[in-house]
């Protein structure tokens, strides 16, 4: 099994291997081989389209957690320019599971805050696999309050397996740090646009996820409890995670239908990791249009709209 | 706690696994913490706090509000609010059926009861979680009722007191539950901006989404003695860090020491303490407070005749003593 492809993508992986082999044996002017490669490429595209048009919610969770899925730090340099990272919560530490700083979005100064899982193993460890501790949420809060002072729109990129469930997290008040962010984000007098780029896990995701506009990438996922956790509680086994994912409706399509998510940003064929540049460009375009709409609105009106939207959840 | 239970890792040990009471329903009851056989009227008079070991037993939402509010002028709020199964959630059973069963067994529409009334004459809006209803979990109906109650408090410039006891967000309403965290936090923030007091009282247990929203956002956070509160459950933490949790982890005393709460208040002193705090926050005149005594229902005699076959005499005076330290 090719680790760069998920289980349901293995037929695509096999085709890609064939294409690679042909490319290796084929000399420059070998017409037959080139034709064969073109046919296989075409076949691979159609197969990918077919497979991806039929993904179950659980498949989508797997794409969202794909080891090659682009993370915040893959997107930030592609979406923004002049990103200056800012560090620390001013009380305890700098939590590397959340990155933040001032950047420009096609010229507009903005505050960017994103959860970062880390790519290499050592980086994953230093970023705690994208599981923020209280200092991470407090850093985010500090940056958001700064953004309000300097009239910078806030953009958050959500991608976390959850807030860190550890002793130190609890000792320093992980619940309070998240709750405080929810409260302040509900009234922060600057536009807030949130995008779930990968895995939006429960309170840990929501802790930077309250705003005027919530978008999800097509194969991102957002849930109140991980499908494994839900399956463990109901069926006493995480093997029932696919059923749990189905029952909870963890996809952007379902969440848009429920009125929680405002927009879905289409992913390149085969998922964001197959074409990071294209994905970044689409996110950028979406952010520009949202930020411009919100910035044109009187602040009071924007805040009323945000509050009323919060109050409408579940109605 | 027996010596055997003491050597078990705390993840294995849980209240649910303690042996069920072998005492039949009726006049006698047993404390799940110290195993003392207790005369039920004694326990009730002591507001369901064990007269022997001071264990604060879990009580229902209505009993909670009944012991908190003045008897006159109470009014239940938003009683008609019903849960909604927007996802048509179904696992082994349909969520709709689970709701019907919970409604039948508790007599409540969902896990939150809201009332307006007074404490020591001061107007207050109160909400209390019913833990027996789906573990006090927060879905649409709970979030909505909390929000409406808070809005009522805002409109009437009257303090809000919330007694929480909850396992967290309600899984069966998925992201709608998660968004109730944002919703309740937003309305609390409005109260904060308007200067309308909100006191959050944490009672055993509070976890997950309720802890990471309304329970920790009080102007004043209060907890009952020995209540458990945290973001992640002890089992989840132990699985993550692969080590045993320290003594008293996530208990009220821990929360106080770590700065998460302002004070630990004994159940029998809850009413007088909160009345005193709110009077100051609302610039109301100070009242002479008779501690404890007034909490005893007027018709009850100060002392009960020990029943003939009683094992130990009722030790009502125990509550005057310092609560015993937990042994785990």
ipTM for this prediction: 0.94
* Averaged pLDDT for residues B302-320: 44
Residue B326: predicted pLDDT: 45
| Cβ neighbours for A98, distance < 8 A, ≥ 6 positions apart | A113, A114, A115, A116, A132, A136, A137, A139, A140, A208
- Average pLDDT of the residues of chain A: 95
Taking the CA of residue B268 and the nearest CA in chain A, the distance in Å comes to 27
Greater confidence (B94 vs B4) lies with B94
Instruction: Please give the span between the terminal C-alpha atoms of chain A, in angstroms, as a whole number.
Output: 46
Which residue among B173, B178, B237 places its CB closest to the CB of A202?
A: B178
| Cβ pair B139:A314 closer than 8 A | yes
Q: Which of B179, B191, B219, B256 to mutate against chain A (most A CBs within 10 Å)? A: B179
State the best of B91, B93, B214, B231 to mutate against chain A, taking most chain A CBs within 10 Å: B231
pLDDT of residue B291: 55
Instruction: Using CB atoms, pick whichever of A164, A179, A247 lies closest to residue B217.
Output: A179
pLDDT value at residue B296? 52
Lowest mean pLDDT among A183-197, A290-304, B13-27, B183-197: B13-27
Which of residues B318 and A236 earns the better pLDDT score? A236
For residue A297, what is the DSSP state? Answer: S
**Chain B interface mutation, best of A134, A183, A233, highest count of B Cβ atoms under 10 Å:** A183
Name the minimum distance, in Å, from the CA of B178 to any CA of chain A.
Answer: 6
Interface of B with A in 259-288 (CB under 8 A): 259-260
Give the pLDDT of residue B19: 52
User: pLDDT confidence of B20, banded at 50, 70, 90?
Assistant: low
Residue B316 has pLDDT above 50, yes or no: no
With residues binned 3-state (H G I as helix, E B as strand, rest as coil), the percentages for chain A, rounded to 5, are: 55, 15, 30
pLDDT of A71 reads 98
The answer to whether the CB atoms of B179 and A233 lie below 8 A apart is no
Among the residue ranges A151-155, A305-309, B15-19, B88-92, the one predicted with the least confidence is: B15-19
Q: Can you tell me the distance from the alpha carbon of B149 to that of B144, in angstroms, rounded to the nearest whole number?
A: 9
Q: CA of B257: which chain A residue's CA is closest?
A: A171
Contact A226, A161 (CB under 8 A): yes
- Name the DSSP letter for residue A298: -
Residue that wins the pLDDT comparison between B71 and A20: B71
Cα of A260 to nearest chain B Cα, Å: 8
Tell me how close the Cα of B186 comes to any Cα of chain A, in angstroms.
5
| pLDDT per residue as tens digits for the range B202-234 | 999 999 999 999 999 999 999 999 999 999 999
Partner A contacted by B191 (CB < 8 A): no
pLDDT band at B313 (very low <50, low <70, confident <90, very high): very low
Give the residue from chain B lying closest to A251, CA to CA. Answer: B175
Residue B156 pLDDT > 90 = yes
Report strand pairing: A154-160 vs A108-115. Answer: parallel
The pLDDT value given to residue B314: 41
Residue A225 has pLDDT above 90, yes or no: yes
What pLDDT, on a 0 to 100 scale, did the predictor assign at position B153? 98
Contact B213 A178 (CB under 8 A): yes
**With bands split at pLDDT 50, 70 and 90, how would you rate the model's confidence at A3?**
confident
Distance from CA of B242 to the nearest CA of A (A): 10
Task: Please say if the pLDDT value at position B7 is more than 90.
Answer: no
Contact B190 A250 (CB under 8 A): no
For residue A179, give the nearest of B84, B87, B185 by CB distance.
B185
For range A17-25, the mean pLDDT: 86
**Per-residue pLDDT for B324 more than 50?**
no
In chain B, which residue's Cα lies nearest the Cα of A162? B232
pLDDT at B317: 35
Report pLDDT for A36. 87
Chain A contact set for B250 (CB, 8 A): 170
Mean per-residue pLDDT for B240-256? Answer: 92
Q: Which residues of B touch A258 (CB under 8 A)?
A: 86-87, 175-176
User: What separation in angstroms does the CA of B206 have from each of A50, A144, B87, B226?
Assistant: 46, 28, 25, 12
Confidence of residue B325 (pLDDT cuts 50, 70, 90): very low
**Stretch B304-311: mean pLDDT, rounded?**
48
| Residue B16 backbone class (left: φ over 0; alpha: ψ -120 to 50; beta: rest) | alpha
Print the SS3 string covering chain B. Answer: CCHHHHHCCCCCCCHHHCCCCCCCCCCEEECCCCCCEEEHHHHHHCCCECCCCCCECCCCHHHHHHHHCCCCCCEEECCCCCCCCCCCCECCCEHHHHHHHHHHHHCCCCCEEEEEEEECCEEEEEEEECCCCHHHCECHHHHHHHHHHHHHHHHHCCCEEEEEEECCECHHHHHHHHHHHHHHHHHHHHHHHHCCCEEEEEEEEECHHHHCCHHHCCCEEEECCCCEECCCCHHHHHHHHCCCCCCCCCEHHHHHHCCCCCEECCHHHHHHHHHHHHHHHCCCCCCCCCCCHHHCCCCCCCCCCCCCCCCCCCCHHHHHCCCCCCCC
Structure confidence at residue A162 (pLDDT): 97
At B262 the pLDDT is: 98
Facing B87 at nearest CB: one of A180, A233, A249:
A249
Confidence (pLDDT) at B299 = 56
Are B214 and A179 inside 8 Å of each other by CB?
yes
Q: Average pLDDT of B147-165?
A: 98
Of A11, A2, A4, give the one whose Cα is nearest residue A54. Answer: A11
**Res. B23: pLDDT tops 70:** no
**Residue B287 pLDDT grade (very low, low, confident, very high; cuts 50, 70, 90):** confident
Tokens 């927007």 correspond to B86
Residue B243's pLDDT band, with cuts at 50, 70 and 90, is confident
Q: Which of B89, B139, B185 sits opposite A186 (nearest CB)?
A: B185
The tokens describing A189, both together, are 């007098």
What's the mean pLDDT in B283-306? 60
Q: Is residue B123 left, alpha or beta, with left meaning phi > 0 and alpha meaning psi from -120 to 50?
A: beta
Question: Does residue B328 carry a pLDDT above 50?
Answer: no
pLDDT > 90: what percent of chain A? 91
Q: To the nearest whole percent, how much of chain B has pLDDT over 70?
A: 80
By the 8 A CB rule, do A278 and A177 touch?
A: no
B177 with A224: Cβ contact below 8 A? yes
Closest CA–CA distance from residue A246 to any residue of chain B (Å): 9
Peptide bond into A211 cis (omega under 30): no
Q: What is the mean pLDDT of residues A93-103?
A: 98
pLDDT, mean over chain B: 86
User: Are A187 and B190 within 8 A, CB to CB?
Assistant: yes
| pLDDT tens per residue across span B163-206 | 999 999 999 999 999 999 999 999 999 999 999 999 999 999 99
Query: How far from chain centre, in Å, is Cα A120?
Result: 18
- Beta-carbon separation of B258 and A260 below 8 A: no
Residue B129 pairs in a beta bridge with: B112
């Amino acid at each position: 099994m090719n680790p760069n492809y998920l289980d349901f993508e293995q037929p695509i992986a096999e085709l890609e291997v064939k294409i690679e082999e042909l490319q290796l044996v084929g000399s420059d002017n070998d017409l037959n081989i080139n034709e064969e490669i073109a046919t296989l490429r075409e076949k691979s595209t159609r197969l990918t389209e077919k497979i991806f048009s039929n993904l179950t919610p659980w498949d989508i969770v797997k794409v969202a957690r794909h080891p090659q899925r682009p993370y915040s730090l893959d997107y930030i340099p592609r979406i923004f320019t002049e990103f200056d990272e800012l560090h620390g919560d001013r009380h305890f530490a700098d939590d590397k599971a959340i990155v933040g700083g001032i950047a420009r979005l096609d010229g507009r100064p903005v505050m960017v805050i994103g959860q970062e899982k880390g790519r290499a193993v050592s980086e994953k460890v230093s970023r705690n696999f994208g599981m923020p501790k209280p200092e991470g949420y407090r850093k985010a809060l500090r940056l958001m309050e700064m953004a309000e002072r300097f009239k910078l729109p806030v953009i958050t990129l959500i991608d976390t397996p959850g807030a860190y469930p550890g002793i130190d997290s609890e000792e320093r008040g992980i619940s309070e740090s998240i709750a405080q962010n929810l409260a302040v984000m509900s009234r922060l007098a600057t536009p807030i646009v949130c995008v779930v780029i990968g895995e939006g896990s429960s309170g840990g995701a929501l802790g930077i996820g309250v705003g005027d506009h919530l978008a999800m990438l097509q194969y991102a996922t957002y849930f109140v409890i991980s499908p494994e956790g839900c399956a463990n509680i109901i069926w006493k086994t995480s093997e029932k995670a696919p059923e749990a994912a189905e029952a909870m409706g963890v996809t952007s399509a379902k969440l848009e239908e429920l009125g929680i998510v405002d927009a879905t940003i289409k992913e390149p064929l085969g998922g964001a990791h197959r074409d990071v540049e294209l994905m970044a460009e689409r996110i950028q375009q979406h952010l520009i249009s949202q930020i411009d709409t919100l910035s044109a609105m009187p602040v009071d009106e924007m805040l009323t709209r945000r509050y009323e939207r919060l109050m409408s959840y579940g109605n | 706690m027996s010596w055997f239970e003491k050597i078990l890792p705390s993840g294995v040990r849980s209240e649910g696994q303690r042996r069920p009471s072998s005492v039949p329903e009726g006049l006698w009851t047993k404390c799940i913490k110290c195993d003392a056989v207790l005369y039920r009227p004694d326990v009730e008079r002591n507001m369901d706090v064990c007269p022997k070991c001071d264990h604060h037993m879990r009580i229902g939402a209505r009993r909670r509000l009944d012991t908190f509010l003045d008897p006159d002028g109470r009014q239940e709020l938003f009683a008609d609010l019903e849960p909604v199964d927007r996802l048509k959630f179904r696992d082994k059973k349909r969520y709709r059926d689970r709701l019907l069963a919970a409604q039948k067994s508790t007599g409540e529409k969902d896990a939150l009861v809201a009332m307006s009334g007074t404490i020591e004459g001061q107007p207050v809006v109160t909400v209390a979680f019913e833990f027996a209803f789906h573990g006090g979990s927060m879905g649409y109906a709970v979030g909505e009722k909390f929000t409406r109650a808070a809005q009522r408090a805002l409109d009437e410039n009257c303090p809000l007191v919330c007694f929480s006891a909850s396992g967290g967000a309600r899984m069966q309403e998925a992201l709608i539950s998660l968004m109730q965290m944002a919703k309740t936090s937003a309305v609390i923030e409005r109260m904060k901006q308007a200067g309308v007091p909100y006191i959050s009282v944490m009672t055993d247990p509070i976890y997950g989404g309720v802890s990471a929203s309304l329970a920790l956002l009080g102007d004043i956070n209060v907890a009952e003695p020995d209540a458990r509160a945290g973001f992640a459950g002890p089992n989840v933490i132990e699985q993550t860090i692969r080590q045993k949790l320290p003594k008293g982890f996530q208990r009220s005393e821990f929360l106080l020491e770590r700065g998460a709460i302002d004070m630990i208040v004994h159940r029998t002193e809850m009413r007088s303490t909160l009345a005193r705090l709110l009077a100051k926050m609302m610039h109301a005149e100070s009242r002479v407070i008779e501690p404890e005594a007034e909490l005893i229902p007027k018709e009850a005699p100060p002392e009960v005749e020990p029943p003939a076959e009683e094992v130990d005499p009722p030790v009502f005076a125990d509550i005057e003593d310092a609560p015993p330290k937990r042994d785990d």
